Structure 1
Amino acid sequence: MSSTSDEHHVEAESVEEERQQEQVPQQGLVAKKLSWHKLRRYDSFDVESRRIPGLHGHASKNQDWSVILHLAFQSIGVIYGDIGTSPLYVYSSTFASGEIKHTNDILGVLSLIFYTLTLIPLIKYVLIVLRATDNGEGGTFALYSLVCRYAKVGLTPNEQAEDKEVSNFQLELPNDRLKRASRIKTKLENSRFAKYFLLLATMLGTSMVIGDGVLTPCISVLSAVGGIKEAKPDMSQDMIVWISVGILICLFMVQRFGTDKVGYSFAPIICVWFAMIGGIGVYNFIKFDPSVVKALNPKYIVDYFKRNKKDAWISLGGAVLAITGTEALFADVGHFSVKSVQISMCCVTYPALVLAYTGQASFLRKNTDLVSNTFYESIPHGLYWPMFVVAVAASIIASQAMISGTFSIIQQSLSLGCFPRVKVSHTSTKYEGQVYVPEVNYLLMLACIGVTLGFRSTVKIGNAYGIAVVFVMTLTSSFIVLIMIMIWKTNLLLVVAYVTIISTVEFVYLSSVLYKFDQGGYLPLAFASVLMFIMFVWNYVYKRKYYYEMEHKISPEKVKEIANDSNFSRIPGLAMFYSELVHGIPPIFKHYMTNVPALHSVLVFVSIKSLPISKVPVEERFLFRRIEPRELNIFRCVARYGYTDVRNEEELFERKLVEKLKEFIKEEFFLTIVNLITHRDGEHVEDGMVTDNQIHHVEDQTKQLGEDHDQEQKRNEVLNREIDAVDNAWHAGVVHLIGENEVTASKDSGIVKRILIDYVYSFMKRNLRQSDKVFDIPRKRMLKVGMTYEL
């Protein structure tokens, strides 16, 4: 059970050398030259934390312009593939009947597209929503994490005072605390309904974006491949569908290699795409009808609705496709920077799209009968084949961006305890955000093939696509309004203006896309319902398990009683006992000791915990506390991760934990000395805090050798023995003890609870990855401990 690999022995030898170098000399505290300022406090699990000077969140990245422009260029290939390929199908989806009743209807639709592009992607996302990044990370989870950090709305009771000390945990808040913000914060914290509502809204937004990841490849590839009919009119729709399916299969099969392998080709292709659609737009604008510039007057939108009434309202479901993929602008900002995304949107994407739609409108003014295939019909004859090739490449890139985004979202859901365990792999050593989830990849592939074969046309897929897009946007707006009032404390008039203009536009669009529910619009809602059900069940049981462990946790007194048992024995080695419980020792430990009355020479209870922030710096990952008595060498450890951190990273978890454990032992030892000296001289160290005056006082005392040298030497020997004990245990071998908890509904449970726990949750748990696979724990050094919880 304590056997280790050769690689582990090599690591142990290197750490032994480090230990010898770090070992405390016997010449006294002065020779050690301690940095007392590092000894601010214990890493306490129970004492109320105080804010540490020098920590600052939201440290802005002071990048020079060359870096910003480089990131802006890269972002074009990753973020804008989806919204950039919208000109392939917007006009054909808006005029779904294939008939334009009045030529001025084209001006109305162009005006509608122009103001939608301006209001939503440009004003809402670029100018407002990008301010709400969570330490540079975007997306629904980023917004939820901001709310969770400002108000205690999390449903799992694993908050710790020390979490607020993580460097990027704090929010930048104005000094003035408005009563309105305080009232809303209090209501959120006191309302269980509000807490569930926020979590379910986050799940819904997440599910809709995953649905978007299914529909984007279908509609983009099918639209691009369908353009071949222009050159080959005799090609059947069946052939186009099967070619699209073939491309989709190839696209998903190469996902395991990671987007980094082809990442550098993305931006140039999309740049060429934008240049071509913008240039063709200018050509068509000049050649056919420059008077479409009149569409800048929003009066044409009013006239369009007056003429077409209900049909105009229904056609909004097609016009909204002009802003598909806008959410990616916010969700993927973490891979770049806010400034780079703002530059690429304002200088490249927005102008190219406006020119493309304007050119197509000019073309349609003279060719109203060609609206069903506007994009390819409007291309000058000599540019058809180059444009076809670039269109197919751009559609694949658009699909890639949403697929990669789906993997990131699944990773975030896992961190919140809202998704069954799946394997998350890094595909790039350069870019942290590029991950691959095998199970989800193949499920997405099957879903895409099913949608493509089932719907067969971009019009029906567009109906489904619109619902997914607008739902996510309205949820984002809801979170932004909450953040504006509660965290930013924005002027109430500006909040009202946001709701009146932008939120109203989005709700009008939402009402239109929901009208087409029975024409394909049910698809994203069906996807979202299934995903939300899975996420809800997993999260429900996850919380119930945590509450069970909280109620049945082992007290430190009970641990001491177990350790003092005469039948109890110690064996060499270091044991890491994993559990999800942060506040105490899990009940499974007692179950283990009852059946195996032996304990390793050093035992660390490791709790894996997710914080409502994007990343936790490696140096701030671990929190430790000793379980008395000292001679037991039992510690509690919380390993903290952000929702974009990958837990099976190649950072040598064991080695890092042991290093930080030894640091904790040293700091605890020297802080004890500080307590003794300051207490001896009539001072008081409050809650583990050491003031600057006390630090200077201790330095003076040690310089004056106020303590007996032999006593100090004995203390150093005690410290060295404790560090030696940890090193020797690690050399003897590391064992990973994993608590595998089987759950069952209690006898008095109702039928619904029994179905959710005994059947649905158990089915998911059996058919998905276990803890050892998720955390990449070596099988040769792993021991599973089973116990049944009645929830």
Structure 2
Amino acid sequence: MSTHSPAQTAVPVLALAALGIVYGDIGTSPLYAMKEVFAGNHPIPLTDDNVLGSLSAFFWALIVVVSLKYVMIITRADNRGEGGIMALIALALHDAQGNPRRLKIISIIGILGAAMFYGDGMITPAISVLSAVEGLEIIAPDLHPFIIPVTLLVLVALFAMQKRGTARVGGMFGPVMIVWFATLAGLGLYNIADNPHVLLALNPLYALGFIFANKAMALVAMGSVVLAVTGAEALYADMGHFGRKPIQLAWYGLVLPALVLNYFGQGALILANPEAVSNPFYLSAPGWALVPLVVLATAATIIASQAVISGAFSISRQAMQLGFMPRMEIQHTSEKEQGQIYLPAVNWGLLLAVAILVLGFKSSNNLAAAYGIAVTGDMVITSLLATVVVAKVWGWGWNKAIALFAAFLSVELVFLAANILKIPDGGWFPLVAGAAVFVLMTTWKRGRQLLNDRLQGEAIHLDAFIDALLAGMPTRVPGTAVFMNADPNGVPHALMHNLMHNKVLHERVVLVSVQVYDVPYVPEIDRVEVHKLKGDFYRVIVQYGFKDEPDIPAALSLCAEAGLAVEMMDTSFFLGRETLIPRLGSEMALWREKLFVAMFRNAGSATAFFKIPSNRVVELGTQIVL
């Protein structure tokens, strides 16, 4: 996925690329959304009014939630061109500086949104690929036993392919999705021609009439209608790769018309042939087209899943930079594109969750029950965070912002209520998965804060320390010593331990502090600040955005202009290695302390994360009681 400025490439080309990455998820919803209303776990009676009412609800959900909220409004809430829940958190947090209570509330809401994203990310590949492969049963009922094995095979191949990067297959995404959306539109027109009566459902009165005439039944149906808007988060999350205009062009020019035509075509088919309700997507195609349609649908669902997996990699890296997750191994799959990354731990963790879902739920009908709640939870959280951004960052004021998002929340909260009904049928899974991610992220954030407080409590002020050294200087040895230092004004533990045990000091001592700002990228010209201190000590502050790649040797090479030339072969990096000991009566519950200690022990090494040459590193251990 590209991080180049959208201005560098023509809008239509970017719109084509956006079709696969951004609209894969929402574009594969016709495989299961309509079927779920009339043949799911909670089917509603198949009548003319119910079909027109649910079609109208599908259409207006796409208009209100996707077109108005996401495409027109939320995509304007960019953090220097970047979108997604982490960018929204950063914008909201930026305004809340100096207000600890609001900072805490926004952080918790944001972490909850990120946790829901992971819940959604587990279900999307499972339901998309499974619903596509279920077409085998339509081709020949005898193929039913092969559905689960083929689905698992496709998913394992997809996740195994991640370490090679998406660049090779990325070029095929757009063209395949153009064929997919053209096919959706063609199938829709083919069936609408036989029953144009369904076009009456474009009138919103049919949706309102359906909701008010059958309140309980309509609420159940809304739990399935929300499946039509799953994937709306992706067009905001991936905005940084394409820009607003290409995303809008792709949506209004192709995706929205194709989806509406297909849903209305499925409605027309069901009214003409009620038996087709068992799988209205595949049965809307003529018999000769079934085999190529199953192949095309499988390709489209692989692309939809790829977008979610890439999104999980991206959000994980941002969460690491913002201090919500422990360090993990990050591999780059492209020399040219900074955004193309691979996180083995996230990849295999997702595959395990997806495989468990497929084996546990066994059909797209059962998975649809698990799907909606993570998506609607994410939408509600996005609306809440966006209200803060619109009120404070855009300067609209609370009244206008609340009035605007109250309209969207009134729709989304109905969807959320409808999905709460599905908790016993499978909706519990994303809630459990999201709660687990939420506990891990909040434990890590709180644990790091606790650890920093302990280290700060024992810290010595740097200026006083240097003055004391100058009064009785230890033996100086040739070379440069680099100490990583969280607090720019404190003395690193590793420096104290080195002096205590080795009784020497290098002729040049560089104290490096890394600061991550709530912007996606920091320009290279602002990357480093160099401060020369007494006694050949230097303080270097390295500044990154939450999507930048930390690279300490590269940052140090930029210090030469400020009079600090660092020769790598003459430099040793000293890192502290803390061993944490949990204790009763701490500010954190003992079970969370033990969880934090386990996460801390298994976190990726600072050496790899900061790209420090491992043969230049000296680690000095210390024990800290939490």
Aligned to 1:717: none
482, 492, 496: which is aligned to 1:586?
492
Name the structure 1 match of 2:13. Answer: 70
Aligned-pair Cα RMSD in Å:
2.0
Select which of 763, 767, 776 maps to 2:602.
767
**Structure 2 match to 1:102:** 47
Give the TM-score taking structure 2 as reference length.
0.95
* Residues 731, 421 of structure 1: alpha-carbon distance in 2 compared, 3 angstrom cutoff: closer
Tell me by how many angstroms 1:324 deviates: 0.7
**Aligned equivalents of 1:568, 1:746: Cα separation in 2:** 37
Change (3 A) 1:489 1:655: closer
Is 1:735–2:599 an aligned residue pair?
Answer: no
Q: Deviations over 1:112-163 (max 9, x none)?
A: 00000000110101110011010110011111111222331xxxxxxxxxxx
Q: CA offsets per residue over residues 739-765 of structure 1, 9 Å max, x none?
A: 112233457537x533322x2122222
Out of 209, 223, 236, the position equivalent to 1:303 is 209
Residues 274 and 349 in structure 1, CA contact (< 8 A), matched pair in contact too: yes
Q: What does residue 111 of structure 2 align with?
A: 203
Moved more, 253-262 or 781-790: 781-790
Whether the 8 Å CA contact 1:552–1:587 is kept in 2: the answer is no
SS in structure 2 of the partner of residue 787 of structure 1: strand
Among 143, 147, 159, the residue aligned to 1:240:
147
Given that residues 574 and 619 in structure 2 are in contact (C-alpha distance below 8 angstroms), is that contact kept between their aligned partners in structure 1?
A: yes
Q: What's 1:670 paired with?
A: none
SS in 2 for 1:63: helix
Query: What letter is aligned with 1:465?
Result: Y
Aligned with residue 27 of structure 2, among 84, 94, 112: 84
TM-score by length of 1: 0.76
1:134 aligns to what?
79
- Are the equivalent residues in 1 in contact too, given 2:313–2:343 (CA < 8 A)? yes
Other-structure match for 2:553: 654
Query: Per the alignment, do residues 583 and 75 of structure 1 end up closer, same or farther by CA in structure 2, a change over 3 Å counting?
Result: farther
Are the aligned partners of 1:549 and 1:586 in contact in 2 as well (CA < 8 Å)? no
- Could you say which residue in structure 2 is the equivalent of 1:675? none
Kept in 1: contact 2:542–2:555 (CA 8 A)? no
Distance 2:232 2:489 in 1: 41
Q: 1:432-470 deviations in whole A, cap 9, x for unaligned?
A: 222110011111111110010001111221121100111
Which aligned pairs between 1:525-604 and structure 2 lie closer than 5 A?
Answer: 525-564=431-470, 566=472, 568-604=474-510
2:517 matched to which residue of 1? 611
Size of the aligned set, in residue pairs, is: 621
Distance 1:512 1:98 in 2: 13
Distance 2:542 2:522 in 1: 10
Q: 586, 592, 596: which one pairs with 1:756? A: 592
CA 1:61/1:239 → structure 2, altered by over 3 Å: closer, same or farther?
closer
CA contact (8 A) 1:554 1:590 kept: no
Residue 223 of structure 1 is matched in structure 2 by 131
Identify the range of structure 1 (764-773 vs 537-546) with the bigger mean alpha-carbon deviation.
764-773
Per-residue Cα deviation, 1:263-286 (whole angstroms, up to 9, x for no partner): 000110011000011011111111
Query: Is 1:663 paired with 2:566?
Result: no
Aligned to 1:285: 192
- CA separation of 1:601/1:296 partners in 2, compared to 1, >3 Å: closer, same or farther? same
Hey, what's the Cα distance between the residues in 2 that align with 1:395 and 1:295?
A: 28
Report what 2:99 is aligned to: 190
- Equivalent residue in structure 2 for 1:476, among 377, 382, 395: 382
Distance 1:404 1:274 in 2: 22
> Distance between the aligned counterparts of 1:277 and 1:304, measured in 2?
26
Per-residue deviation, 1:395? 0.5
Cα deviation 1:292-337 (Å, max 9, x = unaligned): 1111222212332345331221121111000111100000011111
CA deviation map 1:360-414 (0-9, x unaligned): 1111111123212010011122222221111010011000100110010110110
Q: 1:586 to 1:504 in 2, by over 3 A?
A: same
Supply the distance in 1 between the matched residues of 2:196 and 2:85 (Cα, whole angstroms). 41
Matches within 5 A, 1:326-725: 326-490=232-396, 494-564=400-470, 566=472, 568-627=474-533, 629=534, 632-648=535-551, 653-654=552-553, 656-660=555-559, 662-665=560-563
CA contact (8 A) 2:527 2:555 kept: no
Q: Deviations over 1:459-494 (max 9, x none)?
A: 221121100111111111001111111111226664
Contact 2:461 2:489 in 1 (8 A): no
Contact 2:361 2:367 in 1 (8 A): yes
Question: Would you say the 8 A contact 2:6–2:14 is kept in 1?
Answer: no
Q: CA deviation at 1:549?
A: 3.0
Q: Calculate percent identity across the aligned residue pairs.
A: 34
The letter of the residue matching 2:132 is A
Whether contact under 8 Å (2:582, 2:597) holds in the other structure is: no
Verify the 8 A CA contact 2:125 2:304 in the aligned structure 1: yes
Q: CA–CA distance in 1 between the matches of 2:23 and 2:549?
A: 26
Q: Does 1:145 align with 2:86?
A: no
Provide the rounded CA distance (Å) in 2 between the counterparts of 1:492 and 1:201.
Answer: 18
Q: Distance in 2 between matches of 1:209 and 1:367?
A: 38
Q: What displacement does 1:655 show?
A: 5.0
Q: For structure 1, list consecutive stretches of 5 or more residues without a partner in the other structure.
A: 1-59, 153-188, 666-725
Q: Residue 646 of structure 1 aligns to a residue in which SS?
A: coil
Residue 107 of structure 1 aligns with an amino acid whose one-letter code is: L
AA aligned to 2:622 is M
Check 1:313–1:557 CA distance in 2 against 1; reply closer, same or farther (3 A cut): closer
Distance of 1:428 and 1:559 partners within structure 2: 45
TM-superposed CA distance for 1:731, in Å, is 6.8
What is the aligned partner in structure 2 of residue 258 from structure 1?
165
Q: Deviations over 1:674-729 (max 9, x none)?
A: xxxxxxxxxxxxxxxxxxxxxxxxxxxxxxxxxxxxxxxxxxxxxxxxxxxx55x7
> What is the letter of the counterpart of residue 789 of structure 1?
I
| Separation in 2, partners of 1:555, 1:477 | 44
1: distance between equivalents of 2:184 and 2:161?
Answer: 28
Relative to structure 1, the CA distance from residue 309 to residue 640 in structure 2 (aligned partners, 3 Å threshold; closer, same or farther) is same
The question of whether the paired residues in 2 share the 8 Å contact of 1:103 and 1:368 is answered with: no
Shift in Å, 1:252? 0.6
Mapped partners of 2:601, 2:400: distance in 1: 51
Counterparts of 1:437 and 1:614, CA distance in 2: 19
Task: Give the residue type in structure 2 aligned to 1:120.
Answer: V
Distance 1:274 1:282, change over 3 A: same
Residue 566 of structure 1, CA deviation: 4.7
Q: CA deviation at 1:574?
A: 1.4
| Consecutive unaligned residues in structure 2, runs of 5 or more | none
1:122 aligns with 2:31: no
Which whole-Å CA distance do the structure 1 matches of 2:473 and 2:224 have between them? Answer: 75
Q: Contact 2:92 / 2:106 at 8 angstroms: preserved in 1? A: no
- Matched position secondary structure for 2:223: helix
Tell whether the 8 Å contact from 2:96 to 2:103 is kept in structure 1 after alignment: no
Contact 1:98 / 1:372 at 8 angstroms: preserved in 2?
no
Partner of 1:106, secondary structure, is helix
